[in-house]
A and B are shown apart, each in its own frame.
Chain A
């Protein structure tokens, strides 16, 4: 039997609503409207009663709860004392704790993205400043850094990254060689492919590719590591033991990266040139020509520029990685976000710094 509702106001001012039939999922909208209409009109007490063949399922309490909420807004009360005990218990539970009325704290300011950028830049500078102080402490021998941590970081930043750097450097050397070949063939100037590969690797691509790899590999790993330490309250534990987290956690990594990056860059130069050779020698160029061209292509100052860039990129990777790790929030999801942020911001910093340095070196004539 489908749901049905009848109203009676026999005695006193209590409206008796009698529900009959099955009150469940597919409630007749007409009945529903009829009932809601009545509830809206009445502002006295309302008593619900089970009528003929009254039955219900789990949809009924949901419906009743929403009715009660509407009724409460008008200030009249719904009497359920005649309803089945299970319905009553459920609704009693639902109404046991009054709904939260305090507003959720959402600070929406008109210039939020703008302020966010400024705050970000400020945070970055503050962290950089702390790194400078930590470095000064390291130089003056007052640092809390442990040598063993520096060694661990060195091995994380160096030997363990060799494999992927080998692969990428050879491929980038080959890419440069093909690129040069296609262009320079038009002028019959294939010999200069060696110059392009050599200079391209040494001044630009070697340091850049190494930095991108290290950001994705080591920078991300460090961000996750520090983030997990933060979540696990290990950073707090350090502070309370009187050990500066900056010295203990960030400095070994900075030291490792700044030492390792130039070395990895030199390694990358060499392999890039080997990769270029692999392409060039299959075309009509002798090893002798390739080498003699290379020797004229770049000098020690170019190598120095490449290594310097590598060291700067290393610093930026540590800055991005350690900062997002140390500022990681308190949840495990925050560690994942910190890792992502570390990689993305490291790459942004690296490319920006590269552009800036190229501009600088161009005007300085280096």
Chain B
């Protein structure tokens, strides 16, 4: 793990097991997210990335283990303390999760109203947040009247409505065309940078991972635990696990570091990633 002692931990996950009822999804998760990090949760589909995120934002209780925010345990906290911790987070969901019977402005204003922001101030702040995500002028539109990508951006505007310290994203750019996906990722990055917020996101867009993440964890579906964590560019070259290197290289063959060093037949390994062997082209 790449935890340097000088940095302050924003989130610590300690020995956490994730379960739905008796069904184990992930076990023994241990990692730290430092303040100001852009932290990516990676892994194949169905391995429990969304589940981990939902546990981190308190929608589910971990079956075992504890999660700390700035050193304070969320798992042990009472409802009042949890509320305080939660009020510092901004969360977007896979689909945007906008309320369909409210306009974009009302959607963004909702958390502000409940947080007791001055009525007079709300309108200006809503307009500003919508402008930040490139939706100025769409205040009076309903979610059904805008595109999927715009819904996601509006969800982002709602997530940053209260200037959160930690931003959680579940596959923000999934289902978008490459250009919009890229723009959304850049938006997230620049928002994170300019507000100094810690960003935790689930994604498998490799471009985004290398562009914006400085820390990551890889969850494995078969072993039901994490394999490696650290800076993704570093992991791509140096991970102990071939799966992780291969994931970060789009499943292309990766030379096995250990084997290459020993001069062992590394070429044999490459065959694993091509379904058809060369011999077939002869006939």
Q: Which residues of A does B touch, CB under 8 Å?
A: 84-85, 88-89, 92-93, 96, 105, 144, 152, 229, 232-234, 236-237, 239-243
Contacts and interface: CB of A to CB of B under 8 A. Distances in A.
A89 B280 contact: yes
A243 B57 contact: no
Given A84-B283, A105-B23, A233-B95, A243 B114 contact: yes
Contacts of A84: 283
Contact of A232 (B23, B95, B282, B283): B95
Nearest to A93: B275
A239 B59 contact: yes
Interface in B230-278: 275-276
A233 B94 contact: yes
A120 B212 CA distance: 47
A239 B87 CA distance: 11
A171 B11 CA distance: 65
A232 B283 CA distance: 52
Contacts of B100: 232, 234
Listed from nearest, the 10 A-B pairs whose CB atoms lie closest are A233-B93, A237-B97, A233-B97, A85-B283, A240-B91, A241-B111, A234-B97, A85-B280, A240-B57, A232-B95
Nearest to B58: A240
B95 A240 contact: no
B276 A242 contact: no
B91 A237 contact: yes
B21 to A, nearest CB: 10
Contact of A234 (B58, B59, B98, B282): B98
Contacts of A236: 54, 59, 93, 97
Contact of A242 (B95, B114, B280, B283): B114
Contacts of B115: 242
Interface in B89-123: 89, 91, 93-95, 97-101, 110-111, 114-115
A325 to B, nearest CB: 14
Given A88-B280, A92-B276, A242 B86 contact: yes
Contact of A241 (B110, B275, B276): B110
A135 B96 CA distance: 30
B83 interface: yes
B224 to A, nearest CB: 12
A9 to B, nearest CB: 26
A256 to B, nearest CB: 15
Nearest to A149: B101
9 contacts: A85-B283, A105-B23, A144-B114, A233-B93, A236-B97, A240-B58, A240-B59, A240-B89, A241-B110
Contacts of B276: 89, 92
A144 B58 CA distance: 19
B221 to A, nearest CB: 12
Given A84-B283, A105-B23, A240 B275 contact: no
Contacts of B58: 240
Given A144-B114, A241-B114, A96 B275 contact: yes
Interface in B109-161: 110-111, 114-115, 158
A214 B16 CA distance: 46
A114 to B, nearest CB: 19
Contacts of B99: 229, 234, 237
Given A92-B275, A93-B275, A96-B275, A240 B283 contact: no
Given A92-B276, A232-B95, A233-B93, 8 more contacts: A84-B283, A88-B280, A233-B97, A236-B54, A240-B59, A242-B86, A242-B87, A243-B114
Nearest to A84: B283
A51 B273 CA distance: 34
B201 to A, nearest CB: 15
Nearest to B23: A105
B36 to A, nearest CB: 22
Contacts of B86: 240, 242
A40 B86 CA distance: 65
Nearest to A239: B59
Contacts of A105: 23
Contacts of A89: 276, 280
A232 B95 CA distance: 7
Interface in B1-57: 23, 54, 57
Contacts of A243: 110, 114
B19 to A, nearest CB: 13
Interface string B198-227: 000000000000000000000000000000
Contacts of B158: 237
Contacts of A96: 275
Interface in B56-70: 57-59
Nearest to A102: B222
Contacts of B93: 233, 236-237
Contacts of A144: 114
A243 B99 CA distance: 13
A108 to B, nearest CB: 15
A96 B274 CA distance: 11
A240 B158 CA distance: 12
A242 B283 CA distance: 66
Contacts of A92: 275-276
Contact of B83 (A88, A229, A242): A242
B51 to A, nearest CB: 12
A239 B91 CA distance: 11
A340 B83 CA distance: 36
